[in-house]
Amino acid sequence: MTPKKVHIISHSHWDREWYMAYEQHHMRLIQLIDDLLGLFKTDPDFHSFHLDGQTIILDDYLQVKPEREAEIRQAIKAGKLRIGPFYILQDAFLTSSESNVRNMLVGKEDCDKWGASVPLGYFPDTFGNMGQTPQLMRKAGLNAAAFGRGIRPTGFNNQVDTSEKYSSQFSEMIWQGPDDSRILGLLFANWYSNGNEIPTEEAKARQFWDQKLADAERFASTRHLLMMNGVDHQPVQLDVTKAIALANKLYPDYEFVHSCFEDYLADLSQELPEELSTVSGEITSQETDGWYTLANTASARIYLKQANTRVSRQLENVTEPLATMAFEVTGTYPHEQLRYAWKTLMQNHPHDSICGCSVDSVHQEMMPRFDKAYEVGTYLAERSANQIAEAIDTSMFPEDSCPFVLFNTCGHEKKTVSDLTLTWKVFPFGQRLPKAVYQEAKEYLETRQPQFQVIDAAGRVIEEAEILGTDIAFDYALPERTFREAYFAIKVQLRLPLTLSAMSWQCLALQATDQLNQAPNETLLHQDGSCLENDFLKVIIAANGLLTIEDKLNGNRFDSCLQYEDCGDIGNEYIFRQPDHDIPYLAHQGSCKLRVLTNTAYLAEIELTQTFDIPLAADDRLQAEMEAVIDIRERQAKRSQEKAPFTVKTVIRMEKESPRLQFQTSFDNQMTNHRLRVLFPTHLKTDHHFADSIFETVKRPNHTNAQFWKNPSNPQHQGAFVSLFDGRTGVTVGNEGLSEYEILPETNTIAITLLRSVGELGDWGYFPTPEAQCLGQQTVSFSFESISVKTQFASYFRAQEGQIPVTTVQTKSHSGQLPAQYAYIKGATDHVALTAFKRRLSDNALITRSYNVSNDEACAFTLAIPDHTARVTSLLEEDQHNPLPAQLGKGDILTLAWKKSESAHL
């Protein structure tokens, strides 16, 4: 009889920052690597150490001990140190689609530099796993993924129930994505610590192995058993080879080997049975009691999610497209600067970081990283936009005008109303005192009293442009080759309705005029001041602040929208826990004031100020329960009896050409341990909904699985939107960095979390986190769109691309080789989302990445770049020999490399 083989893999799951600050963990990492390098020399039987699938650990170590790089390289070459394939172990849902790809791209670059990589998708502690993992792995050249959460293992002691979609009898299974990609899934059914600290004393070893072998055999589909020798921040077991030798002596029917994932996968693949379970799509612990899905990390420290969205949009959707366009002019692309920005951003993407479930010092260190990545992105974007603008032929504009260029860096046409600030005239300091220069600028304004208009390249006046005002402001220029130039400038503020083609620019100019534009008599706000109306929507604002939204195109009506609900939260950064018998407080039951901010033919903005009394905090029992580490399910704390006014201000924005109703909500949070949500009741008859996720629009049930679920709430992750659609009509609610929602199935209400205020980390001890109460001024943004069969998919990209601003730069009147108006791409459709428009590192080929937003049906793929030919590549942008497809399959992700024709020019 062939003995069972026990593969023991030494590792340490390295959370770079969590219950201690980064440097506390960092210094312990230095000790770990030092121990490993010493062990490799002293124990020839020590096979290898798995470095947690993330190459950033090497950067962290060499940052302190660069002199040991040669030893690291030799250990990797010898197979002692097993690295990659990723840069970091990122959270699956709270990072963008492109961030997930860039993690693999940077990881591959690092692994290529070091000369080795473990061919395994590694997600040991990810808080749920995204549905497109199989396709992402396959298109990155990986055929297997290991993970610790999301699937309920049943084992041989339980009868297999074929109705259970997220359970597996074995720790090995087939994982299938929405596009039908299939990989081998490896579940750490006994966690990634099932072989930790193996005893070297005989009695203890027998006790240890009797239990561990039985646990592993319960779930293993073959004779190959996986034992993970390590856990979070675990020091290497220096005597593990001695422990393995003892195990072989004690258990002659087993073969114990110090192993690695490569060897384990090779052995496993030879003996996998045909009857493995198949799990499909995302795996997020759907068939559990619902308490430990950790989905509520989506609403912990929402300011982190907002910052991440802002920076991701800047790098992916502004900086890279502009730099890609500028390449046509400069022949250069800022690969190194962008890599630096991306790596800085991704250092915030491990789950303990971006999920907001660490101690305060960790998240204090994250914000400068966001700021650094954003500043790099804005610098590169401005430089690229100026390079393009300087090459545009603006000679058709009058000499006394101020040309400016508007860029739409989205993958679809953008219709919006943008507020711009342009410089009309400059008063340089030179050798003069600022006071004298300011006086000169002031006299210019007072004597000239200039009026302005906007013209296009044909000289036509843009009648819709609205001049909001002029003022004097300090500014400066940084010439390429000379010293800085300080000045006061006449700044002109204007508002401009825009329609810009996908991935395009358009040049306009500001011009002085003696003729004042007459504002149209029609406005979007009715005379009664409580009704907004455009061609798409009619919005009635009740005296209490609730909205009735009528869809003028399909007759839908949604009542009692924009409900603000506040309830208690006695949970932690991981898990929301409403106190027993807690009754939410509703803003529309308090006072409400309405103020008109803007009312024109193209834009209306109304400010609602709602004030209602809510409890100041939780009662005194909560502090005692936290300090005693009482399980949140057993806590008895309630909200305090003392209350204070809580004011919510909402700016409701309607644009003439947009079916999206936009909201910006602000509040000064001085209360603790509570949750604020906004509710949109829909009363739609459907048992499922759709949400923006990683390279997919995921379909989720509105109801939980009652056979398993015990948690009273069912929080979910979202990217840019969540949508309910009954087959005929529906609603899409968009957001900017609001990553948690819940569908309340009784009325199919969409509930978006705006604030979750808690005071502790949670998990395995008491770690106070006062800054997780998120005290102070907060501002959040979201949107509402009524949809139909024709507009369902368009509403998705409008929500996604609503996060991306129009970029504006000024230039001068000059000749140039570029036209005043140009669209880079053609053939954009509602069914295809564009996530990348960048240059490839190896040869500067233009890279696009797109996906089919439907997981149910194929769609036509008509994207084209004039004068370019495309070639299909892998997800890692390596050329393949597949022909350019005419359609995308359901849920399909497509990466293309575009080469410009030799004779082509813009």
Three-state secondary structure string covering 830-890: CCEEEEEEEECCCCCCEEEEEEECCCCCCEECCCECCCEEEEEECCCCCECCCCCCCEECC
SS3 87: coil
For β-strands 4-11 and 224-229, DSSP reports them as: parallel
Asked if residue 482 and residue 620 are part of one domain, the reply reads no
Asked if residue 897 and residue 767 are part of one domain, the reply reads no
Residue 197 has pLDDT above 70, yes or no: yes
Instruction: Find the CATH number of the domain harbouring 181.
Output: 3.20.110.10
158 against 171, higher pLDDT? 171
Kindly report, residue by residue over 643-669, the tens digit of the pLDDT. Answer: 999 999 999 999 999 999 999 999 999
Asked if residue 689 and residue 631 are part of one domain, the reply reads yes
520 class by beta-carbon count within 10 Å (0-12 exposed, 13-18 middle, 19+ buried): exposed
Q: Tell me which residue range forms the domain holding 634.
A: 531-801
Asked if residue 507 and residue 579 are part of one domain, the reply reads no
Residues of the chain above pLDDT 90, percent: 95
Instruction: Find the CATH number of the domain harbouring 497.
Output: 2.60.40.2210
Instruction: Find the CATH number of the domain harbouring 766.
Output: 2.70.98.30
Number of separate domains in the chain: 4
Whether residue 385 is contained in a domain is answered as: no
- Section 585-594 average pLDDT: 99
272: left (phi over 0), alpha (psi -120 to 50) or beta: beta
675 class by beta-carbon count within 10 Å (0-12 exposed, 13-18 middle, 19+ buried): buried
State the pLDDT confidence band at 618, using cuts at 50, 70 and 90.
very high
Instruction: Find the CATH number of the domain harbouring 853.
Output: 2.60.40.2220
Asked if residue 501 and residue 536 are part of one domain, the reply reads no
- Section 291-320 average pLDDT: 99
Give the 3-state DSSP-derived string for 732-758, with helices as H, strands as E and coil as C: EEEECCCCEEEEECCCCEEEEEEEEEC
Residue 155 has pLDDT above 90, yes or no: no
Query: Domain end: 752, 768, 801, which one?
Result: 801
Residue 434 has pLDDT above 70, yes or no: yes
Q: Nearest Cα to 463, choosing from 381, 518, 414?
A: 518
- Section 305-317 average pLDDT: 99
Whether residue 295 is contained in a domain is answered as: no
State the pLDDT confidence band at 422, using cuts at 50, 70 and 90.
very high
* pLDDT value, residue 237: 99
State the pLDDT confidence band at 905, using cuts at 50, 70 and 90.
low
Check the CA dihedral 21-26-31-36 and report its sign. positive
State the pLDDT confidence band at 876, using cuts at 50, 70 and 90.
very high
Residues paired with 643 in a beta bridge: 615
Q: From CA 576, how far away is CA 751, in angstroms rounded? A: 14
SS3 155: coil
331: left (phi over 0), alpha (psi -120 to 50) or beta: left
State the pLDDT confidence band at 521, using cuts at 50, 70 and 90.
confident
Asked if residue 508 and residue 536 are part of one domain, the reply reads no
Asked if residue 904 and residue 861 are part of one domain, the reply reads yes
State the pLDDT confidence band at 158, using cuts at 50, 70 and 90.
very low
Kindly report, residue by residue over 440-486, the tens digit of the pLDDT. Answer: 999 999 999 999 999 999 999 999 999 999 999 999 999 989 999 99
Whether residue 813 is contained in a domain is answered as: no
Asked if residue 166 lies in contact with residue 150, where contact means CB atoms within 8 angstroms, the answer is: yes
Asked if residue 187 and residue 254 are part of one domain, the reply reads yes
* pLDDT value, residue 163: 59
Considering 15, 52, 91, 125, which one is annotated as catalytic? 125
Asked if residue 127 and residue 273 are part of one domain, the reply reads yes
* pLDDT value, residue 165: 84
Residue 132 has pLDDT above 60, yes or no: yes
Residue 903 has pLDDT above 80, yes or no: no
Kindly report, residue by residue over 260-288, the tens digit of the pLDDT. Answer: 999 999 999 999 999 899 999 999 999 99
Q: From CA 589, how far away is CA 564, in angstroms rounded? A: 10
Residue 153 has pLDDT above 90, yes or no: no
CA atoms within 13 A on the CB side of 519: 14
Compute CA distances 60 → 66, 323, 402, 657, whole Å. Answer: 10, 30, 49, 50
Q: Residues for the chain: how many in total?
A: 906
Min mean pLDDT across 52-56, 160-164, 704-708, 800-804 is at: 160-164
Kindly report, residue by residue over 13-47, the tens digit of the pLDDT. Answer: 999 999 999 999 999 999 999 999 999 999 999 99
Whether residue 521 is contained in a domain is answered as: no
Kindly report, residue by residue over 69-90, the tens digit of the pLDDT. Answer: 999 999 999 999 999 999 999 9
* Average of per-residue pLDDT values in the chain: 97
Kindly report, residue by residue over 473-492, the tens digit of the pLDDT. Answer: 999 999 989 999 999 999 99
Asked if residue 597 and residue 486 are part of one domain, the reply reads no
Kindly report, residue by residue over 334-392, the tens digit of the pLDDT. Answer: 999 999 999 999 999 999 999 999 999 999 999 999 999 999 999 999 999 999 999 99
Strands (E) in 241-399, as ranges, are 254-258, 278-280
Strands (E) in 616-720, as ranges, are 643-655, 661-669, 674-680, 688-693, 696-701, 716-717
Whether residue 819 is contained in a domain is answered as: no
* pLDDT value, residue 891: 98
Q: Does the annotation mark 125 as catalytic?
A: yes
Q: Nearest Cα to 635, choosing from 585, 687, 575?
A: 575
Whether residue 393 is contained in a domain is answered as: no
Asked if residue 854 and residue 756 are part of one domain, the reply reads no
Whether residue 348 is contained in a domain is answered as: no
Query: Domain end: 460, 482, 513, which one?
Result: 513
Q: Nearest Cα to 240, choosing from 95, 490, 70, 40?
A: 40
* pLDDT value, residue 851: 99
* Residue 34: both structure tokens together: 């030092």
* pLDDT value, residue 677: 99
CA atoms within 13 A on the CB side of 113: 15
Asked if residue 449 and residue 570 are part of one domain, the reply reads no
b or e along 170-199 (b: 16 or more beta carbons within 10 Å of the residue's beta carbon)?
bbbbbbbbbbebbbbbbbbbbbbbbbbebb
User: Do you find a cis peptide bond into 44, omega within 30 degrees of 0?
Assistant: no
Residue 179 has pLDDT above 80, yes or no: yes
Whether residue 227 is contained in a domain is answered as: yes
Q: Nearest Cα to 285, choosing from 168, 146, 408, 117?
A: 168
